[in-house]
Amino acid sequence: MLRLLLRRLRPLSRLRSLFSARSDRSFSGYVPGLPAARVRSTFLDFFREKHGHLLVPSSPVRPRGDPSLLFVNAGMNQFKPIFLGRADPRSEMASYRRVVNSQKCVRAGGKHNDLEDVGRDVYHHTFFEMLGNWSFGDYFKEEACSMAWSLLTEHYGIPADRLYVSYFSGDAESGLTADEETRQIWLDIGVPPKRLLPFGLKENFWEMGDTGPCGPCTEIHYDHVGGRDASSLVNTDGPDVVEIWNLVFMQYNRDVDRSLLLLPQFSVDTGMGLERLVSVLQGKQSNYDTDLFTPLLHAIHQRSGVGPYSGRTGADLGKVDTAYRVVADHIRTLSVCIADGVHPGMSGAEYVHQSAVRSESSANQLSDQRPPPISCQIRVLCQSAVRSESSIMDVINENEAQFLSSLQQGTRLIHRTLNRMDNKHEVFPGSVAWSLHRDLGFPLDLVDLMLEERGVRVDHQELDRLMAENQKVASELQSGVRSQVTLDVVSLAELHGAGVPHTDDSLKYRYTLDQDRYVFPACFATVLALYDGQTLVSEVTEGQRCGVILDQTCFYSEQGGQSHDQGYFTRDGLQDVLYPVESVIHAGGYVVHEVTAADSLKTGDQVQLHLDQGSLSVSQLQQVERCVNDIISANQIVHSQELPLHKARTIRGLRTVDEVYPDPVRVVSVGAPVSELLDDQTDRQTSVELCCGTHLLQTGSIQDLVIVSERQLVKGISRIVAVTGPDAARAREAGQVLSQNVDYLSNRLSGLAPTSLDSSQRFAKEVGVLSDAVDNTPIPQWQRRDLQSRLRTLQRTSNTAVRKLETREVIEFLSTLKSSLMYKMFLVLKSFISVELPWLHLSPSLRTVTVVIWHLIGYGLILNFQHLPSFQASDWAVAVCHLRGGSAGGSALVAKGTGNGSDISEALSWAKTFARQKIQL
């Protein structure tokens, strides 16, 4: 078995032996050994401190709101909303101009999948860190190239004669000329012409996908050997000359017809793999010889009892070094994924994650010792990279044990099948191989290896047919899930250019509680724009799928915290026709309602919005749970009997749906024999249905049931998700813990109110963190609703405390400004707008004035503005701030803005004049 498992990881025949032992060569003029942590911090500090970039933390490896990706696989993933023009203008992301970070990336599954290549060479990884710097409409090619060259040669000390640069050579078919601008920039920096190499679309034109932002790129390559002309080795996938940094210049948008249009805003997106950079700076040709991996490799050696890692590839006859690399790589990936909440499972990212566990389990058979050393390195990694050591080890150990059990069970099944085969030279049944893979998760290539030892091969023709049928079924099941109609970057720019105002979605929060039922206000709106999936249109016809943008909406768009609302529109003059809202998306300040038009719809139409509100109440959820658990406790027998279809349909109370059943059909009932139901001999309440599937023999086998989710699909019909058995017990325990945490916060708030702004803000943050846990942890749904209600009360109370303490600080602050120009501004506001208390802040340099009228002060504005309907806070802020070269925005009651300049006397005078004109004094 050991030999078979290790053979599974045999290297590709096209790869030659890179070296027979680990290389300690270093480049001249540089002392290798810069620790990986210093390499990372040097990169981040260079852009943050020297070039004014904002440090943005890495996002989790599970993409947020991007169903096109299984994992975050590039540094730019979290910034997609900016590139696509969909960033919420109210978000911090919308203000990004220069950004730097180190992003956790996983390439295992999907378009970028390195899972099968890991271990066969010394540079492929399923998990890696991507160092990157970005410019969103700020600097472009010249600054990006200059910064990159300075960091590599001056700060990291990499000899310039080891570096080669590639640039885009153009593409006649696409109508793209060579990027001579970038070439000239590199020449001006000092790169010799013979080290500047042109390449085509494949190597030096980067695209986000089939459509979307794209542009030429320039790459920096490093020669591990040095002292030679290695230009012919660039982009040949050799181990000696490797790409270390890619600088992408996003200046085009690829349309669905493959045409290219210039983007409204040019951006820079760069990426440099930390692992590869560390190998360069530590003088190693193998990433596995750096301090990112050597502690893990040492831990594997200590635990397994086999010989130490020697770094061999092609000469790795026993494949032990290959297995070392697989285990070390996958342990990093598994640990980071689990820490980010991605656990092994049977679909999507979880399935790929489980494949990594199983691949690592196979490779980890380095000795006959038991248990295998899969989690022995977790402690080493957790000390330097991730947290939650115990929970990560628990998850991996549990999944490893499941896989090893599957291996044993599958091996027995293979042996039994082989023993039943009359002729040892006949093919192995494809149905058995497929069952092993589908039902046990047994790797198909491992089946091939085991059979190869017996001189038997799998019937791949049958296996391929079964796999194709399975894929067809899966596709048909997913055929109802359609892609969302989302605005592209060009359409968003058109909306902005046409002056279409952002959607006012404040109505989504204006609900009230009336006798335990939430009531939403009526919402009437105007159609401002329609999007047909490719471009903005003025009208859509019946049956056409489109995105509808309104001036206001009461629908919640999915932005974090919960799924989008569902419901429908009715159009003025056509009240009996419903336009169902299938999804609601927030893009660049606009709320896009995805609708399949039930009739024609055009811009300017007046519509009324209707929300689906009929969720089950807390008491109803508890009642459903009690009913099911009563049946479980009764341990009722589950009866079944085959009957002619016409006879089965005569059973009173039979639950049927519009499905095609065979004749005869299987009838299943709980607690009452089918014969009694057929003869109408009982009035007992029971569950009876037509079903050809498998069922428990007794209800007590379920043990326990907890409803953990409930969501209305259509009016009057809810989808309930429940867990049973041990999972139900864990859900109850988790609910109890969260309930105790909410009790603790409530006691703290009622026992001693926070006395400082910092403590109040910390308390509000704790409430927010606990709210997230309540929203996302599997607990009884009725308990979730109760805790959510209590936490909303705590949040309101804590927010009120924060506002009161802020007000107190404002009063104290204003008392120190009575002799300053800022106080004069306060007097202008007080005299002409009758504001009781604005917060005015002057920066230490006295060059930027910021005026913010706080939410709390809105009450004063409301009272006074009722008598001044023509005067709005936003008008005043825009007028004054634009005068000083700034910008402003807000509503009639609350506004904020910024302006530049050290002398604000002109602004004071204009504010006074503007106010007089508006209120006609």
Query: How far, in Å, CA of 31 to CA of 141, rounded?
Result: 31
509 belongs to a structural domain: yes
Boundary residue ending a domain (611, 637, 655): 611
Share of the chain above pLDDT 70, in %: 69
Per DSSP, 127 falls in state E
| Peptide linkage before 371 cis (omega within 30 of 0) | yes
pLDDT band of residue 198 (cuts 50, 70, 90) is: very high
Same domain? 45 vs 170:
yes
Helices (H), 752-848: 757-776, 781-814, 821-833
Query: How far, in Å, CA of 446 to CA of 406, rounded?
Result: 12
Q: Does residue 769 or residue 917 have the better pLDDT?
A: 769
Boundary residue ending a domain (410, 437, 454): 410
Same domain? 330 vs 459:
no
3-state secondary structure 673-729: CHHHHHCCCCCCCCCEEECCCCCCCEHHHHCCEEEEEEEEEECCEEEEEEEEHHHHH
Q: Amino acid identity, residue 165? A: V
pLDDT at 319: 73
Q: 62 pLDDT exceeds 80?
A: no
Q: Residue 445's CB: how many other CB atoms inside 10 A?
A: 12
Query: How far, in Å, CA of 415 to CA of 419, rounded?
Result: 6
Contacts of 665 (CB under 8 A, 6+ apart): 642, 643, 644, 645, 648, 690, 692
Same domain? 296 vs 281:
no
Domain harbouring 602, CATH code: 2.40.30.130
Residue 741: beta bridge partners? none
Q: pLDDT digit string (tens) for 20-31?
A: 223 333 333 344
7 belongs to a structural domain: no
Same domain? 404 vs 432:
no
Q: 156 pLDDT exceeds 70?
A: yes
Query: How far, in Å, CA of 105 to CA of 99, rounded?
Result: 17
pLDDT at 201: 94
Same domain? 96 vs 144:
yes
Q: pLDDT digit string (tens) for 312-354?
A: 876 555 578 888 888 888 888 888 888 777 765 444 444 444 4
Per DSSP, 164 falls in state E
Q: Residue 620's CB: how many other CB atoms inside 10 A?
A: 13
Count up the domains in the chain and report the number.
Answer: 5
| Matching residue, tokens 């549990």 | 398
Q: Amino acid identity, residue 362? A: S
Query: How far, in Å, CA of 872 to CA of 305, rounded?
Result: 77
Q: 528 pLDDT exceeds 90?
A: yes
The stretch 826-842 carries a mean pLDDT of 40
Q: 356 pLDDT exceeds 50?
A: no
Helices (H), 216-369: 274-281, 294-304, 320-339, 348-363
Q: pLDDT digit string (tens) for 548-600?
A: 999 999 998 876 556 778 777 888 876 656 677 888 888 888 999 998 787 78
804 belongs to a structural domain: no
660 belongs to a structural domain: no
Same domain? 359 vs 315:
yes
Same domain? 440 vs 577:
no
Look up the pTM and report it: 0.57
526 belongs to a structural domain: yes
CB 721 within 8 A of CB 702: no
> Which two three-digit tokens encode residue 686?
């029971």
Q: 848 pLDDT exceeds 60?
A: no
CB 774 within 8 A of CB 787: yes
What is the DSSP secondary-structure string of 81-120?
HHHTT---TTSGGGG-SEEEEEEEEE-SSSSS--TTTTTT
242 belongs to a structural domain: yes
The stretch 877-891 carries a mean pLDDT of 73
pLDDT at 284: 92
| Matching residue, tokens 């027998």 | 637
For residue 453, give its domain range.
421-475
Counting Cβ atoms within 10 Å, is residue 868 exposed (0-12), middle (13-18) or buried (19+)? middle
The candidate with the shortest Cα–Cα distance to 220, out of 135, 131, 96, 292, is 131
Contacts of 880 (CB under 8 A, 6+ apart): 851, 888, 897, 899, 907, 910, 911, 914
pLDDT at 558: 73
Q: pLDDT digit string (tens) for 306-319?
A: 888 888 876 555 57
6 belongs to a structural domain: no
Query: How far, in Å, CA of 638 to CA of 151, rounded?
Result: 71
Boundary residue ending a domain (383, 410, 437): 410
Q: In what order do the strands lie in the sheet with 688-690?
A: 638-643, 665-670, 688-690
Classified as helix, coil or strand, 568 is strand
* Most confident range, picked from 138-142, 811-815, 865-869: 138-142
Classified as helix, coil or strand, 44 is helix
The candidate with the shortest Cα–Cα distance to 580, out of 592, 597, 604, 563, is 597
Query: 763 φ, ψ to 5°?
Result: -65, -45
Query: 352 φ, ψ to 5°?
Result: -60, -40
How far is Cα of residue 544 from the mean position of the Cα atoms in its chain? 30
Q: pLDDT digit string (tens) for 445-503?
A: 778 878 877 788 888 888 888 788 767 655 554 444 445 677 888 888 888 888 999 99
Length of the chain measured in residues: 921
Query: How far, in Å, CA of 562 to CA of 225, rounded?
Result: 54
Classified as helix, coil or strand, 602 is strand
Q: Does residue 707 or residue 749 have the better pLDDT?
A: 707
* Most confident range, picked from 89-98, 843-852, 857-866: 89-98
Same domain? 463 vs 510:
no
Same domain? 454 vs 534:
no
Q: Amino acid identity, residue 719? A: R
Q: pLDDT digit string (tens) for 620-637?
A: 888 889 988 998 999 999
Domain harbouring 911, CATH code: 3.10.310.40
Q: Does residue 409 or residue 473 have the better pLDDT?
A: 409
What radius of gyration do the chain's Cα atoms show?
33
Same domain? 429 vs 350:
no
pLDDT at 271: 95
630 belongs to a structural domain: no
Same domain? 198 vs 341:
no
Same domain? 266 vs 305:
no
